[in-house]
Structure 1
Amino acid sequence: MLSVYEGFFSGGARILHSDVVLGLHEGGQHHSVLSLHGEVLREATRQPMEADACYRSLTAAGVGVTSLGRTFGLPGASAVDPVLFSGPELAATARAMAGADVILSLKEQPLGLLNQGGLPRRPVIVCLHRSDPENQGAALCELKAAIADGTVVACVCCAESTRAAYEAAGIPPELLHVIPNGVDLLRFRPDAGRRALLRSVLGIPDSAPVVVFAARYDTMKNVPLFLRAARAWLRREPRGHVLMCGAGMTEAQPALRADIEAAFGDDTARLTPRLHALGVRRDMETVYAAADVVALTSSWGEAAPLCLIEGMMCGAVPVATDVGDSAAIVAGHGFVTPPDPDAIARAWSDAVAARPALAPVLAHSRERFSRTRMIASYAALIDRVHAEGVRSPLPEPPLPEPL
């Protein structure tokens, strides 16, 4: 198996896919990863591949990871056409593909590479993690071209909203397979020790209500809406604290500082000492365990947000806007809100109050969000694609007509 990534940078899709690769590798499949980019600047954060937590966990488990060495967004870096690939890049891709029976593409962006002529013919499964194909630029066209060519033989949709959106965009429904996201239930669980430790480090009292917002600094996450809700909530909850983590969620990020000042106004000095910008964390199980509420304020694009699932499994009550499958995930476990800061703030308070009563409900639903269930479903689909490929291998591309 070969997985192709656009790059290693902080985000739920990369975390989820890397965990799938690890699980399949642990189950006996041989996996490797090819990344188009070796380093990126995204969400105002420089992210080298070798420093990424997913890269480190994959390589530590014996999964081989290579890169075409491209860079994106870095100061002084020469511009690289995202759809043009050099001879050495194509040769490296061909070598990586040659040893694979099936290829997984992490979202549709890497298909710009896999659609290049002259590469080995291998069945490709595209793993889709959003609900807005129309906002993926040329990637949707690359997906349709790969399907028409017979290269893409299946698409994994992490949510029903993803399946519906891509079917509406013209992807044949028989290719769309829904495999809901799952998480490691041994890692993501309520933990009083972790809860006490992080609260102590941050100077948060044991009894203080805490809301966590785990998201990269991106327009789709609607950070300004979250901050306006945080202001309203901190005003009504004088003991409350708010945690923000993810790429770009640091006080060193000028855009985030400007958003905070705009949202908090004359309350900035009084309330922001209880607003903690933690940046990228590698201990999210600890962050969620320390929280009472896990919040999502996204406006579009989400499918099955990993933060909601991870937070719930650690005992935090989810409060989300109605985007993607969020409402279905939250149903019976938390609260769905309109995109209104005062309504969101009230829901956070309601969630804190309801947390003791919801704890048994969250505990009872753990198997539904199991990593084991998710990986078994991926393995079954890959085995089926491989068996069908052995019976009827992909035809080589036709030779050009003579002039």
Structure 2
Amino acid sequence: MLEKDGLRVLSVYEGFFSGGARMLHSDAVIGLHRSGQRHSVLSIHGEVHREATRQRMEDDACYARLTAAGVPVTSLDRSPNLTPSQDLSRGPDFTAAELDATARLAAGADILLSLKEQPLGLLGQAVPAHRPVVVCLHRSDPENQGPALDDLLAAVADGRVAACVCCAESTRDAYRDAGVPAGLMRVIPNGVDLLRFRPDPVRRAQLRASLRIPAGAPVIVFAARYAAMKNVPLFLRAARAYLRREPRARLLLCGAGMTADNPGLLADIAAAFADRPRLAGRLALLGVRLDMENVYAAADVVSLTSANGEAAPLCLIEGMMCGAVPVATDVGDCVPIVAGHGFITPPDPESIAAAWSEAVARRTELAPSLTRSRERFSRTRMVASYATLLDAVHRDAAARVALH
């Protein structure tokens, strides 16, 4: 019988910055830690510069939640100044001190969790091959992960990878096609805190009042970092089409880089609204928010216009659980997530705008299906699945040690 108190798990992050994968993984770590396992976190970088935003570990919401839950968090304190296409785990070779610090932390863990494949370059240098590694995969485009995919395939070939957690069927299928053996992969769908993410008329009224949005005005929320895969220009072109037909509507843009300090975003807005600049006055650039449950509760629609890379987008799930109707392009697992709850659209501005209008009109009609789906998207279910997998990996590793 495995004693939960004996299971020690170290998660390795490339860095703390705004994004669904880090929020999801941190939620899982907190849930597992509270269930009796002993979790800790190592971050390769102490700060990152992404999406036109400097993001320090100590300022990050996930860091705050982990440490508040008693999960120790340490960092190698790398501080790169990178372009969005660069791999955070690459660049200068790891120093002897960094490798030694990683090795010491890993020696105190029974299992290592690699948040995405990027930390595997470090783990391959610092950690003995017999230490089981579980890789948590959160995208559906391994071909766009650069050398990190090579590190994953090398770690699989060396027998370092005990399992891969895939957050979506599309993730499993894509990584299988990229060469990861299907037998290593386990799909554990994303889940959220249903007590936090729920319809709430008080939150709805308060958030709308704080932004001076009339009670009956349609509200569309776009929660995404400013990255090419999110296809922000498409969203903005759809916003222009929608605001022309809906004179009371408001659009809320949340996420890293979604601020007036980002020249790239301002240029995108200027291009999309070139012939109707006054319409852009009904966009609210909110940046990174720590109260997304309030933002979603205030919305009628949660929208996603991504072109690639998505697997099981957390924004759609969180928004749905707060009563917002999801409208998304066909990427990753968006089709099964949205089915029966909202609308899938082609990557066309007019089609997206029309879907927003229909979603607002049918929000009351779709509310019961959103309510019925809540247990499917429960964080409790997700954490239990992670615990079962980690227990099995630990048992298998212990059995191999006993045989030798």
TM-score under structure 1 length normalisation: 0.95
Residue 290 of structure 1 deviates from its aligned partner by 0.3
Against the structure 1 CA distance between its residues 164 and 395, is the aligned structure 2 distance closer, same or farther, given a 3 Å change threshold? farther
Match of 1:82 among 91, 99, 116: 91
Match of 1:55 among 48, 63, 67: 63
8 Å CA contact 1:98, 1:120 repeated in 2 = no
1:4 matched residue in structure 2: 12
Against the structure 1 CA distance between its residues 74 and 165, is the aligned structure 2 distance closer, same or farther, given a 3 Å change threshold? closer
Question: Is 2:291 the counterpart of 1:283?
Answer: yes
Structure 2 letter corresponding to 1:202: L
Question: Is 2:172 the counterpart of 1:163?
Answer: yes
Structure 1 letter corresponding to 2:316: L
Q: CA RMSD in A?
A: 1.6
Match of 1:31 among 19, 39, 61: 39
1:22 matched residue in structure 2: 30
Residue 266 of structure 1 deviates from its aligned partner by 2.2
Question: Is 2:114 the counterpart of 1:105?
Answer: yes
Task: Summarize deviations over 1:332-391 as a string: whole Å, max 9, x none.
Answer: 000000000000000000000010000011001100000000000000000000000001
Match of 2:261 among 225, 229, 252: 252
Match of 1:321 among 329, 334, 339: 329
Question: Is 2:368 the counterpart of 1:370?
Answer: no
Q: Secondary structure at the match of 1:85?
A: coil
8 Å CA contact 1:122, 1:394 repeated in 2 = no
CA distance in 2, matches of 1:119, 1:125: 14
Task: Summarize deviations over 1:155-214 as a string: whole Å, max 9, x none.
Answer: 000000000000000100000100000000000000001100110011100000000000
Match of 1:232 among 218, 241, 248: 241
Residue 149 of structure 1 deviates from its aligned partner by 1.1
CA distance in 2, matches of 1:83, 1:166: 28
Question: Is 2:194 the counterpart of 1:185?
Answer: yes
Aligned length: 392
Structure 2 letter corresponding to 1:92: A
Question: Is 2:301 the counterpart of 1:293?
Answer: yes
Question: Is 2:287 the counterpart of 1:271?
Answer: no
Residue 395 of structure 1 deviates from its aligned partner by 11
1:208 matched residue in structure 2: 217
CA distance in 2, matches of 1:73, 1:374: 35
2:346 matched residue in structure 1: 338
CA distance in 1, matches of 2:336, 2:178: 22
1:399 matched residue in structure 2: none
Task: Summarize deviations over 1:302-324 as a string: whole Å, max 9, x none.
Answer: 00000000000000000000000
Residue 74 of structure 1 deviates from its aligned partner by 6.8
Against the structure 1 CA distance between its residues 80 and 190, is the aligned structure 2 distance closer, same or farther, given a 3 Å change threshold? closer
2:74 matched residue in structure 1: 66
CA distance in 1, matches of 2:234, 2:158: 43
Against the structure 1 CA distance between its residues 156 and 345, is the aligned structure 2 distance closer, same or farther, given a 3 Å change threshold? same
Against the structure 1 CA distance between its residues 124 and 346, is the aligned structure 2 distance closer, same or farther, given a 3 Å change threshold? same
8 Å CA contact 1:123, 1:394 repeated in 2 = no
- Unaligned segments of structure 1, at least 5 residues: 397-403
CA distance in 2, matches of 1:303, 1:31: 25
Residue 272 of structure 1 deviates from its aligned partner by 1.5
2:4 matched residue in structure 1: none
Give the share of equivalent positions with the same residue, in percent.
Answer: 70
TM-score under structure 2 length normalisation: 0.95
Match of 2:181 among 166, 172, 177: 172
